[in-house]
Chain A
Amino acid sequence: MADLAPRAAFAGLLHASAPPEGGIPGLVVSARPERQLAIAIARKGKRAELAQRLRQATGLALPEGPHRTTAGRMTALGTGPRSWLVMEEGGEPGLADRLAEALSPLAAVSDQSDGYAVLRLTGAHVRDVLAKGIALDLHPRAFGPGSAAVTNCAHLGVTLWQIDEAPTFELAVFRSYAGSLAHWLGESAAEFGLGVAAE
């Protein structure tokens, strides 16, 4: 059997719109199809041990609560009382398998590299656009590069985190909702202009 060709979740779904008054788009979006994601859930009573093991294996500090930690290409987001979304940018495939092995038997690890579709959002109006879908205070006094949130965006379940103070945010949505999210994003960003950047 020949290799199957992968298709990115947002393929053909992101459409640029020109800023109505010229200039640079207020929001620039890029999809992150090569991101690897895995959900790690601490096994009963193993949280402390897991934190230690994760640091040894990846350098990542296990976030406490809805926060974000990074180490090199790796990122961890607190997504639940004992669950984390662990991500690797541009590494060898098989993050979930490697994590499962490294963290066994302290965590249940499931591959979500295809389960979530991830968008990176930046630009002068990124907060204005996100405010149209997300009922969270994203002001720098309330949310920053160390923050993460499992929330809703225009009725879609999303995970949101901030990368830097540019500001740049990333948004993960279940893959099947990519079209609905892209529609909301296109309409919400239109008044500022939407730029679509290559990854």
Chain B
Amino acid sequence: MSHASQAAPLARDADGAGESRPRAGQPARLASGGLVDRTSTLHFTFDGRSLAGHPGDTLASALIANGVRLVGRSFKYHRPRGIFTAGPEEPNALVEIGTGARRTPNTKATTVELFDGLQAVSQNRWPSLRVDALAINQLGGPFLAAGFYYKTFMWPAAFWEKVYEPLIRRAAGLGGASGLPDPDLYEKSHAFCDVLVIGSGPAGLAAALAAGRAGARVILCEDDFALGGKLLAERREIDGRPGAHWARAAEAELAAMPEVTILRRCQVFGTYDDGVYGALERVADHVAAPRPGQPRQRLWRIVARACVNAMGAVERSIAFGGNDRPGVMTASAVRTYVNRFGVAPGRAVAVFTATDDGWRTAADLAAAGIGVAAVIDPRSGVAPALRASVGGARVLTGARVCDVRGGADGVRALEILHDGRRERIVADTLAVSGGWNPQVALATHKGAKPRWSEALQSFVPDAMPQGMRVAGAANGEMTLAACLAAGAARGEEAAAACGFTAAPAPAPRADDEPCGLVALWHVAESRSKAFVDLQNDVTAADVDLAHREGFRSVEHLKRYTTLGMATDQGKTSNVLGHAMMAALTAGGTDTVDMGRVGTTMARPPHLPVAIGAFAGHHRGKHFKPTRLSAAQVWAEGAGATFVETGLWLRAQWYPRPGETDWLASVSREVRTVREAVGFCDVSTLGKIDIQGADAGAFLDRVYVNTVSTLPVGKARYGLMLREDGFALDDGTTARLGPEHYLMSTTTANAARVMQHLEFCHQVLWPDLDVAMVSVTEQWSQFSVAGPRARDVMARLFGASDVSDASLPYMGCRATRLGGAPARVFRLSFSGELAYEIAVPARFGAALAEALAEAVAAHGGCPYGTEALGVMRIEKGHVAGNELNGQTTGRDLGLGRMMSKKKDYVGRVMAERPALVAPERPSLVGVRPVDPSQRLRAGSHFLRLGAEASVGNDEGYLTSVAFSPSLGGWIGLGFLASGPDRLGERIRAYDPVRGGDVVVEVVSPVFIDPEGSRLHG
């Protein structure tokens, strides 16, 4: 890339045939220069039109090359808009990329890397981009000012949600989501480094080189697909060679360092606590579809000991009439398109600049052979060197642009205010330079306020987040030489902070350029709409209105006008709007205290991040992990229907041919267990191995009842409370040895109980000699229940091992099953003669299969959680519905278990008067008086004839089931003074589902109250 070759004549458009037309179909492509590969052509479409570009182009540069100026319609007024910038700060050129399920709305054309086959479509227009019906909104301007919808659409109030809001949302807005499932993969990853360098402009590259050479682990993140930042867009030299060449050499050196990682297409979007940064890598957005297995985007959580923030600065506009027309661009964008992409944004380009920097655009245009219509500078005095740099173009000092004339095609002419008179200048493009805003967002995400710089007329970072240093334009160090020096220095410091000493290296040389400026925010003489925030259509008049109506704080200004609230977060507009408000509040005096006015709070993400990237692989059924018991594979084969219980999948029932609904299957399973035998996978229940000399004492303190008196080889039911006296969980605990217990918990509370026990041990009683560990996953466990259960057990273990004498009710023993170690327990949840068998989980599937055979031989079947639930309700056993966090031991009918002889967790609080009041709802059973009626859990209890009011509420129904044994619906619930009201008739009232059933209060034990079946 030589400078001489860039000074090629401007390409003529399609009708300007001849030698000077270098590229067919790309009328505005320069013959040479820039960093695009003209030897290769990429085909793409925009609104269905076939166009061509080159590798190295963005969609925006390729559109410019093809002479496309009108790219979108604005948010509110549907005004024609073009391309305003050349980077991620773009407010205007938002398009939909891709088709079908891959369609992505609101994509900035300025950051889309061109690829072959790219399909882009403009958005927020109807019926077409050129003829947009809603452009009529512009005429309604006075009614569509800030806050208009709150003022206009107030009555009738009910209309807001149903009529006004949908209408407004349809009229305003941006692109649409595809509404289809995203076919691509997204993922999350973690990265760690000593020094994170954000941005690969001159400061970032210098910092990465310094830290990398010192031996630090460096991650360099660059949002663009090419490294170099502004070096790619400027005709500047470093060490006597073009800046882009220096960047390429720096990149090569970094790439060769084993501890340096370069992440291209990776935007750092947030600064979080303790040196954590969020970044999004667009892994495959620059291809039509990702390779198989390749994620489209990857969300990085980067943990950095130190950070050099070299995000650079964003050029801001000036508010003047028609400053949103296609063809009005930031001055730096204009020269980026010329220098980096080799395209001409126009043929007669005027430059309106309040900065020395803007003159460089004019100089670069002239050098590229592009016509400079005029350079307009509000300053009266301009250095002769600047005047000389623009190659004889017309220069107007002490002048301002007040209005832009043009239509949907963009700029045609400018109205200039010059020496007190208006003058029309013909131009097709206007490059605007209002000054540079350092990108302070990442430095202020943790809450620090930026500081106002008089020299820069913008905010610069002040207090830093932990470990962050700011270098270059992001810190207000605006010249190339300053960027290089600051980058190297901050890179060395950051590495040194991590314990790495930099080897001395020659500093790269570059000349300082002039960077003076004057503050110019608003050209008050403008007659047409002067825009502040292009994306949200906020005008100078809106800022004025907000001031008049008292919304003067910058945060109020933001909410009232929506300034800075669009997807670009006001990168080109915030400071402009805030300075205009500051000028208004200063009452026209020049003493504008921007430091006091401040700027709005920046929050992550700095740039939009797709929700899919945050979800990563955790989509659909993988939203959360699934836990499968070892016998799952057998249950699937047996045709089970599964239910989610927490993270577990459990067999709910096992339908058989001919069974038309779940109730038929469940009732058949219940009858089979009650009449013969069944087995059920209970592996999901929590199992906690508790050992130690004080294990018994420990258990006595966590359970309401005494456990330490349990003989070895026996098990006992226990209830544990929370500190506040309410029930936490229940289960059986078996004593396996003198100092060895095995606790079981409910499936739902397994982790919580483990946590509770560890808390009790580590915090409350660290003096106890007790050790505990979860063995839930080690053992696969099955319940075998029913009158024929012993036959089944005998088949597996031999008759003598399971006789009532060798394994009495609540007995337990270690044994073997074939070659496998096993444990057997004589426990029952169903009320039948029942056992539980535990084997190491690797044998779980095989044991399920063996049990299926064994029970079948005795007329039995497997049963699922639903039959288990029916049988426990029939027996009045409490479960999750009753252990709901609002019930005490007394409520559950377990008051007598609560020891008076010892202390235990929750004892004192369980004695609170309201918790022991006799009228407190406690456990009862209910049956409909009319046996054909169905009960519904959640129904509330009312006295017969009482009005259905909260004051008359006497409790509620927690569990219901159709009992095949009793031939009707039964339920468990909590009723005021319940146990004293057996035989009374009450209402089970369900206003949600329209239920109102007269029920009789009965004992919660519906079946075999004597327990004769248990002892079989």
Chain A residues within CB distance 8 Å of chain B: 1-9, 12, 17, 20, 33, 39, 41-45, 83, 105, 107-108, 110-116, 128, 131-132, 134-137, 139, 141-142, 154-156, 174-180, 183-184, 187-188, 190-193
Cβ contacts under 8 Å, A108 to chain B: 689, 691-692, 771, 773
Whether B773 contacts A110 by the Cβ 8 Å rule is yes
Chain A nearest CB, measured from B710 CB (Å): 18
Q: Cα distance A180–B632 when bound, in Å?
A: 14
Complex alpha-carbon distance, A125 and B291, angstroms = 17
19 A-B pairs with CB atoms under 8 Å apart are A1-B818, A3-B818, A7-B845, A20-B291, A20-B294, A39-B773, A42-B771, A43-B771, A44-B693, A110-B689, A115-B774, A132-B187, A139-B217, A154-B618, A174-B777, A179-B626, A180-B625, A180-B626, A180-B627
When the two chains form their complex, are residues B777 and A3 in contact, meaning their CB atoms are under 8 A apart?
no
Shortest CB distance A144–B (Å)? 15
14 additional contacts (CB under 8 A) given A6-B843, A112-B777, A139-B217 = A1-B817, A7-B630, A20-B292, A20-B294, A42-B771, A111-B775, A114-B777, A139-B192, A174-B776, A174-B777, A187-B617, A190-B185, A190-B292, A190-B293
Q: How far is the CA of A55 from the CA of B781 in the complex (A)?
A: 35
**Which residues of A sit under 8 angstroms from B217, Cβ to Cβ?**
139, 141
Determine whether the beta carbon of B292 is less than 8 Å from that of A137. no
Task: Say whether A187 contacts B850, CB under 8 Å.
Answer: no
Tell me how many residue pairs across A and B have CB atoms closer than 8 Å.
162
Of B648, B769, B797, the contact of A1 (CB 8 Å cutoff): B797
Closest B-chain residue to A143, C-beta based? B192
Q: Which of B628-651 contact A (CB under 8 A)?
A: 628-630, 633, 648
In the assembled complex, which residues on chain A have CB atoms less than 8 Å from the CB atom of B301? 135
Whether B846 pairs with A6 at a CB distance below 8 angstroms is: yes
Q: Which of A41, A114, A141, A156 contacts B779 (CB 8 A)?
A: A114
Given A4-B839, A4-B843, A137-B303, do A131 and B191 touch, yes or no (CB 8 Å)? Answer: yes
Which chain A residue shows the least CB distance to B300? A131
The reply to whether A8 and B777 form a contact with Cβ atoms under 8 Å apart is no
Taking a contact as CB atoms under 8 Å apart, the answer to whether B778 and A111 are in contact is yes
* Interface residue ranges of B282-305 to A (CB < 8 Å): 291-295, 301, 303
B778, A134: Cβ atoms closer than 8 Å: no
Chain B residue at minimum C-beta to C-beta distance from A156: B625
Q: Closest residue of chain B to A83, judged by CB? A: B773
Residue picked from A17, A83, A114, A128, most chain B C-beta under 10 Å: A114
- Cross-chain contact A5 with B295 (CB below 8 angstroms): no
A3, A7, A137, A142 interface centre (most CB from chain B within 10 Å): A7
Verify A176–B291 contact, CB threshold 8 A.
Answer: no
Which residues of A sit under 8 angstroms from B777, Cβ to Cβ? 112, 114-116, 174-176
Chain A residue at minimum C-beta to C-beta distance from B185 = A187
Find the B residue at minimum CB distance from A180. B625
- Does B241 reach chain A (CB closer than 8 Å)? no
Set of chain B residues within 8 Å of A183, measured between Cβ atoms: 617, 622
Closest 4 CB pairs of A and B: A190-B293, A108-B691, A108-B771, A41-B771
- Given A4-B817, A116-B777, does the pair A20, B293 have CB atoms closer than 8 Å? yes
Contact A8 B842 (CB under 8 A): yes
Docked Cα-Cα span, A41 to B688, in Å, equals 14
Q: Residue B396 at the A interface, CB < 8 A?
A: no
Chain B's closest residue to A17 (CB) is: B293
B residues near A, CB below 8 A? 185, 187-192, 217, 291-295, 301, 303, 617-618, 622, 624-630, 633, 648, 689, 691-694, 739, 767-780, 796-797, 817-820, 839-847, 850
A131 vs B693: C-alpha distance when bound (angstroms): 43
Tell me whether A114 and B842 are in contact in the complex, defined as CB-CB below 8 angstroms, given that A2-B818, A137-B303, A141-B217 are known contacts.
yes
Taking a contact as CB atoms under 8 Å apart, the answer to whether B628 and A3 are in contact is no
Query: Which residues of chain B are near A114, meaning CB under 8 Å?
Result: 630, 777-780, 840-842
Residue of A nearest to B688 (CB): A110
Q: How long is the Cα–Cα vector from A12 to B773 in the complex, in angstroms?
A: 29
Of all chain B residues, which has the CB nearest A11? B633
Q: How far is the CA of A6 from the CA of B841 in the complex (A)?
A: 8
Among residues of B, the one whose C-beta sits closest to the C-beta of A44 is: B769
By secondary structure, the B interface counts as mixed
C-alpha gap A45/B277 in the complex (Å) = 43
Q: Identify A7's interface contact among B291, B774, B797, B842, CB under 8 A.
A: B842
Bound form: Cα–Cα A174–B647 in Å: 13
Task: Compute how far the CA of A124 lies from the CA of B187 in the bound complex, rounded to whole angstroms.
Answer: 19
A188 shortest CB reach to chain B, Å: 7
CB distance from A21 to the nearest CB of B (A): 8
* A113 (CB) vs chain B CBs: closest residue: B840
- Other-chain contact of A44, B187, B768, B778 (Cβ < 8 Å): B768
Q: Of A4, A107, A110, A134, which is within 8 A of B847 by CB? A: A4
User: Is B625 a contact partner of A155 (Cβ separation < 8 A)?
Assistant: yes
Look across to chain A and name the residue whose beta carbon is closest to the beta carbon of B187.
Answer: A132
Q: A177: which B residues are within 8 A, CB to CB? A: 625, 627
A190 to chain B, nearest CB (A): 3
Chain A residues within an 8 Å CB radius of B772:
41
Q: Which residue of A lies closest to B840 (CB)?
A: A114
Interface-central residue, A45, A108, A141, A190, by most chain B CB under 10 Å: A108
Chain B residue with Cβ nearest A82: B771
Report the minimum CB–CB distance from A90 to chain B (whole Å): 16
Chain B residues with CB under 8 A of A193: 293
Give the shortest distance, in Å, between B892 (CB) and chain A (any CB): 29
How distant is the Cα of A141 from the Cα of B627 in the complex, in angstroms? 35
Q: Is the CB of B778 within 8 A of A110?
A: yes
Which residues in A have their C-beta under 8 angstroms from that of B840? 111, 113-114
* Contact pick for A3, options B617, B633, B739, B819, CB 8 Å: B819
Please give, as numbers and ranges, the residues of chain A lying within 8 Å of B691 by CB-CB distance. 41, 108, 110
Q: Are A176 and B303 in contact (CB under 8 A)?
A: no
Contact in complex: A3, B187 (CB < 8 Å): no
Interface centre among A17, A156, A178, A188, by most chain B C-beta atoms within 10 angstroms, is: A188
Q: Which residues of A contact B770 (CB under 8 A)?
A: 44
A87 to chain B, nearest CB (A): 14
Contact A176 B773 (CB under 8 A): no
Q: How distant is the Cα of A41 from the Cα of B617 in the complex, in angstroms?
A: 36
CA distance A32 to B217 in the complex (A): 34
Distance of A109 Cα from B633 Cα, bound (Å): 30
Most buried by A among B648, B774, B841: B841
Please pick, from A9, A44, A136, the residue contacting B842 in the complex, using a CB distance under 8 A. A9
Most chain B C-beta atoms within 10 Å of own C-beta, residue among A115, A154, A177, A178: A115
Q: Which residues of A contact B818 (CB under 8 A)?
A: 1-4
Q: In the complex, A44→B839 CA distance in Å?
A: 30
Compute how far the CA of A137 lies from the CA of B194 in the bound complex, rounded to whole angstroms. 11
Compute how far the CA of A7 lies from the CA of B303 in the bound complex, rounded to whole angstroms. 40
Q: Do A176 and B845 contact each other (CB < 8 Å), given the known contacts A41-B771, A44-B769, A190-B293?
A: no
CA distance A56 to B677 in the complex (A): 51
Task: Report the bound CA distance from A73 to B551 in whole Å.
Answer: 74
Q: In chain B, what residue has the closest Cβ to A174?
A: B777
- Asked whether, in the complex, the Cβ of A131 is within 8 Å of the Cβ of B628, the reply is no
CB A186 to nearest CB in B, in angstroms, measures: 9
Question: Which chain B residue has the least Cβ–Cβ distance from A116?
Answer: B777
Contact of A43 among B618, B633, B769, B796 (CB under 8 A): B769
Bound form: Cα–Cα A190–B296 in Å = 13
Cα distance, A177 to B843, chains bound together (Å): 17
Report the minimum CB–CB distance from B487 to chain A (whole Å): 25
Contacts of B192 in A (CB 8 A): 137, 139, 142
Q: Is the CB of B187 within 8 A of A1?
A: no
Query: Which of A43, A110, A115 makes the CB contact (< 8 A) with B841?
Result: A115
A41 to B740, CA, bound (A): 13
Chain A residues contacting B689 (CB-CB under 8 Å) are 108, 110
Is there contact, CB below 8 Å, between B769 and A155?
no
- Cβ contact within 8 Å between B627 and A176: yes
Q: How far is the CA of A169 from the CA of B330 in the complex (A)?
A: 52
What's the nearest-Cβ distance from chain B to residue A38, in Å? 10
Nearest Cβ on chain B to A19's Cβ, whole angstroms: 9
Q: Are A187 and B187 in contact (CB under 8 A)?
A: yes
| Chain A residues with CB under 8 A of B626 | 179-180
A95 shortest CB reach to chain B, Å: 12
Most chain A CB within 10 A, of B185, B293, B840, B846, is at B293
